[in-house]
Amino acid sequence: MRHTFLVVDSQPADLEAVVRQLKLVGPGAEVLTAPSAEAALALLEEQRIVPSMIFVDYHLPGMNGIEMLGEVRHRRWLERAPVAMLSQPVADKVVVTSYRLGACAFLSKPARPHELRETVRDFAIQPVRMNAASQVPGTPGLVRRSAAA
């Protein structure tokens, strides 16, 4: 199966680091990039694709990562696309809001290669599906936060 990833980050070094790691995920993985939320949303609309996973930096020029996540969730054809947030340390409120809007992971920047691989494995390559019966009470389903976040 061929995977397409979208990475949205205005910092070229951070963007390239994530792209390099995602290209190692599997042969033929396609990685699309955008420097802003607006550019990413335009790309998604133009190509009408549902990426295997979207990685979004919280600190973006214009619309921030949380606002982009909200826009992604308002597009019916993208509402189930896995979205992982990336950021330098932020307030817990930002992390909680991300999860409430449907983020599957919140990773600290710079993203650690093993965390990126695990996130892709868990939510894009072999999506974990939990239902109310299988979820352990008091634990979030389908979420991950890196240790440094």
Helices (H), 25-136: 37-47, 65-73, 92-100, 113-120
Residue 83 maps to a domain: yes
Nearest to 101 by CA among 53, 69, 68: 69
Could you tell me if 58 and 11 are in contact, meaning their C-beta atoms sit under 8 angstroms apart? no
Q: What is the pLDDT of residue 17?
A: 92
Longest CA–CA span in the chain (Å) reads 43
Strands 105-108 and 53-57: unpaired
Q: What is the pLDDT of residue 56?
A: 97
User: What is the residue-level pLDDT of the chain in tens, covering all 149 positions?
Assistant: 688 999 999 999 999 999 999 988 766 789 999 999 999 999 999 998 899 999 999 999 999 999 999 999 999 989 889 999 998 877 788 888 899 999 999 998 888 888 998 999 888 876 544 433 333 333 344 444 454 44
pLDDT tens profile 39-60:
999 999 999 889 999 999 999 9
Domain of 73: which CATH number? 3.40.50.2300
Residue 69 maps to a domain: yes
Residue 94 maps to a domain: yes
Residue 134 maps to a domain: no
Residue 133 maps to a domain: no
56 DSSP β-pair partners: 8, 85
Residue 48 maps to a domain: yes
Cα separation, 101 vs 70, whole angstroms? 6
Residue 135 maps to a domain: no
Q: What is the pLDDT of residue 112?
A: 87
Q: Which two tokens stand for residue 81?
A: 């696309």
Q: What is the pLDDT of residue 133?
A: 39
Residue 104 maps to a domain: yes
Number of domains in the chain: 1
Could you tell me if 47 and 59 are in contact, meaning their C-beta atoms sit under 8 angstroms apart? no
Q: For residue 8, what are the domain limits?
A: 4-128+140-145
